[in-house]
A and B are shown apart, each in its own frame.
Chain A
Amino acid sequence: MAKTQLAAWRLGYAWEGRTVSLRIYIAYGAAADQATALRLQALGGVNGLTVYVPPAFTRQDPDGKLDARSEERLCSSDIVLGVVTLFLSEACQTELTCANNMKKRTLILCHPAAVEALAPHFAGEFVVFDPSSPAQAESAIVDALRKLGLHKDGMTALLGLATIFLGLLIFAPRE
């Protein structure tokens, strides 16, 4: 709890007094990743970001079909943030592929355990977050954000979310 609190404080501090108008769609890997996505949504929300997390039932559809609301939110998003820690569901793959096709600014963050699943579909398009080397992960995320060409506040906002994602991975229990 204390670590999460620290992460929440850190994000609040970074964005204090700012309103960043960004619509972010979180494409999470599997239903088990939804809790991480919800935490990012809450932290983004209190800091002025509009963050959408698709419902869990989309992750249980073997065809990866999205519901109408998720499709609409995906279309209207400014940034698609992929967060994959366990495995890549069909729905997540559909979302990331759609984002690519729609030329959305996309940032895919993944745990080393998910590289194998992502590599065949999104080679070279994801950042591996290794919880055992957070410094390396942070510099990788900064590089990836630069490539997205965001304005300064947008970059700060996404960096904040990505850092928290890293924190959640570091402190999350692993099976």
Chain B
Amino acid sequence: MQLREAVLDTSCVIALDAVGALPLLSFLFSLVLLPKAVREELFRRRETEDRFGILLRELAFIVPCDDYDQAELDILFTGRSVRGTKDRGEAESIAQASKKGASVIIDDMWGRKQARRHGLDLGGSITILRAFYDLRLRSGPELRANFVVLRQRGIRLPWKTVNATLQAIGQEPLTANELAQSPATRRTP
């Protein structure tokens, strides 16, 4: 059984770490790759800087990757402007996944659209957490609690899809009260 490699975008790293799920990625992927722009974003944020320094030292299967060049990235996105530094993480994730034949795990809508356009095997925080439920690594109530935490942390997810996922596994969808708990000022990339 050969597990795939996966490239993770910044928002997914933050989301999965918030619910203690990063070590569980070893069930799904042989290696988790973090492109340079993703690492830079993580280290640029005061609240994640120390945390991800530790994670990279503690988990051997999460590794940096810089295995592409700028020309490749330009070719990949010919005629389409990468929206400044904001989309840099997503763009590098896609370039890296294309080069390695890896899965790409992205929550950002623009990034997901680009990944589909390039025919990549695509996942996001929701599908990853659902996979952990299917593997019995998270129970239904735990999964629901995880989504509540993500909402409270201000992680941007398609909450209709979250609720559909919860209902599919026999859990109550997030209530209006729970959905209102997101800090309005916090934004994830």
Contact = CB atoms under 8 A, between A and B. Distances in A.
Interface of A: 1, 3-5, 8-9, 12, 31-32, 34-35, 38-39, 41-43, 46, 53, 55-57, 59, 171-173
Contacts of A43: 137
A42 B137 contact: yes
B110 interface: no
Contacts of B3: 1, 173
Interface in B21-59: 23-24, 26-28, 30, 57-59
Size bracket, chain B contacts? 10 to 19
B184 interface: no
Nearest to A11: B136
Contacts of B135: 4-5, 8
15 contacts: A1-B3, A4-B27, A5-B136, A12-B136, A34-B59, A34-B61, A35-B26, A38-B23, A38-B61, A42-B27, A53-B23, A55-B58, A56-B60, A172-B1, A173-B1
Dominant SS among interface residues on chain B: loop
Chain A CB within 10 A, most for which of B1, B60, B137 = B60
A54 to B, nearest CB: 9
B121 interface: no
A46 B20 CA distance: 13
A84 to B, nearest CB: 15
A59 to B, nearest CB: 7
Contacts of A55: 57-59
B65 to A, nearest CB: 16
Contacts of B172: none
